[in-house]
Amino acid sequence: MRLEELFIVDGDVHVHESPAALAEYAPDPWDVALREIAKIPERYMDLPGLSPHGELSIPFPGGLERDTTVTSAAEMHEELAELHIDRAVLFPDHLLMIAKLPNADWAGSVARAYNQWLEEQWLAEKDSLLGAIVVAPQDPAGSAADIRRHAGRNGWRCVYLPACAVEPLYGHRSYDPVYEAACETGLPVVLHSVTTVHPVFPFQLHAFESASARHSVAHPWAMMANLTSMMETGVFVRYPDLQVAVMEAGMSWMPFLMMRLDKEFSEHRRAMPALKKRPSEYLAGVYVGTQPIEEPPRRGDLLKVIELFDGEDRLVYASDWPHHDFDHPQFVAGYPFDDEMRRNVMGLNAARLFGIDVPEGPYA
């Protein structure tokens, strides 16, 4: 099956929001701060005050050095067209680390500036580009208002919950306004993490020597921690219309989490008292991004994993373009799926999740 024959929706690509661009949309005094940050030579997602990453790895020549960024809608549209991607959901670069920012007013203002910038500079430019409204977890009320402000306008398709370094975890009642706004506007919430060292659960990542070790566990841990937290406080029960998706953590941890929580639930039902059915039955409603897709030596083994979490209808192709560990659609479509599953994974599941019209064609 050729890529041209598929309607390909990419659940996760990244735009580069420069501090100078955001400054145009930020209120006093944060516009001044953003212009000050803009004077600092940029390193890859590592800017003081905005994306304070704090890399611990020791640099050597060669090796991984992919720090590509995409800075305009036209550029993104062109690059995705080359990859045969028909629609893509845009996530930020720097703001992946927004939960690390200790000043709630700053974090909320930066998120609002980004959302307005994305709407005007990206979503208004290309129909292929779809938006994820950035939530500042430090400012749930402000974020809920921003969700209501943007929802329904051109291109917005989901709410982005930054899952890196977030405290409290997303089951906490303080996020209820965000979930209410998401349900009210009919937008799914998408958890997306990133790797950084920060002294909150689940990121005791300074214990590792390499960025690779941190990266291996940071993303799946972030998802497992937040979904467990959401299970504890009954988010899935209290917001039955809420659609939840996770990006950039791969998928093979999902059967583990389902079985682990089911086991706990059988012994400690009162620890998850709101649940009306097994945890796995709630998790079975969560959409899962493919990237970084697992590459078992026998590729077909991944289909067994997908079967274990019943993922055929909820697996969403994601490239993570232009980041270092992106998955080419040709590579993902090349897994031994049957044609129907291939169409679902590469686009139709995402179309259902994000409310995207599938154009006429040989797709369905």
Partner 1 sequence: MPEDVAVATVSELPEGTHKVVRAGRRELGLFNVGGTLYALPNLCPHQRGPLCEGRVSGTVECTEETGWRLSWRHEGEILTCPWHAQEFHIPTGTCLAFPQIRLKSFPVRVEGDAVLVTV
User: Phi, psi (5° rounding) for residue 300?
Assistant: -65, -20
Q: Give the whole-angstrom CA distance, residue 299 versus residue 297.
A: 6
Nearer to partner 1, 215 or 260 (CB): 215
In the complex, the smallest distance separating the C-beta of residue 330 from partner 1, rounded to whole angstroms, is 7
Q: Which residue has the tokens 């749930």?
A: 140
Q: Give the whole-angstrom CA distance, residue 75 versus residue 82.
A: 11
Q: Give the whole-angstrom CA distance, residue 141 versus residue 357.
A: 31
Q: Please list, in sequence order, all residues whose beta carbon lies within 8 angstroms of the beta carbon of residue 86, skipping any fewer than 6 positions away.
A: 7, 8, 9, 128, 347, 359
Nearer to partner 1, 24 or 325 (CB): 325
Q: Which residue has the tokens 């000050």?
A: 36
In the complex, the smallest distance separating the C-beta of residue 126 from partner 1, rounded to whole angstroms, is 24
Helices (H), 119-210: 140-150, 176-185
Is the separation of the CB atoms in 158 and 245 below 8 Å? yes
Q: Please list, in sequence order, all residues whose beta carbon lies within 8 angstroms of the beta carbon of residue 201, skipping any fewer than 6 positions away.
A: 167, 169, 225
Nearer to partner 1, 146 or 327 (CB): 327
Q: Give the whole-angstrom CA distance, residue 315 versus residue 251.
A: 9
In the complex, the smallest distance separating the C-beta of residue 195 from partner 1, rounded to whole angstroms, is 15
Q: Which residue, 235, 230, 224, 234, is CA-closest to 180?
A: 235
Nearer to partner 1, 277 or 324 (CB): 324
In the complex, the smallest distance separating the C-beta of residue 327 from partner 1, rounded to whole angstroms, is 7
In the complex, the smallest distance separating the C-beta of residue 44 from partner 1, rounded to whole angstroms, is 14
Bridge partners for 288 per DSSP: 246, 315
**Residue numbers at the binding site for partner 1 (CB under 8 A):** 60-66, 324-328, 330-331
User: Phi, psi (5° rounding) for residue 134?
Assistant: -75, 130
Nearer to partner 1, 304 or 328 (CB): 328
Q: Which residue, 315, 347, 323, 339, is CA-closest to 128?
A: 347
In the complex, the smallest distance separating the C-beta of residue 211 from partner 1, rounded to whole angstroms, is 11
In the complex, the smallest distance separating the C-beta of residue 6 from partner 1, rounded to whole angstroms, is 17
Nearer to partner 1, 113 or 333 (CB): 333
Nearer to partner 1, 209 or 307 (CB): 209
Nearer to partner 1, 66 or 173 (CB): 66
In the complex, the smallest distance separating the C-beta of residue 82 from partner 1, rounded to whole angstroms, is 13
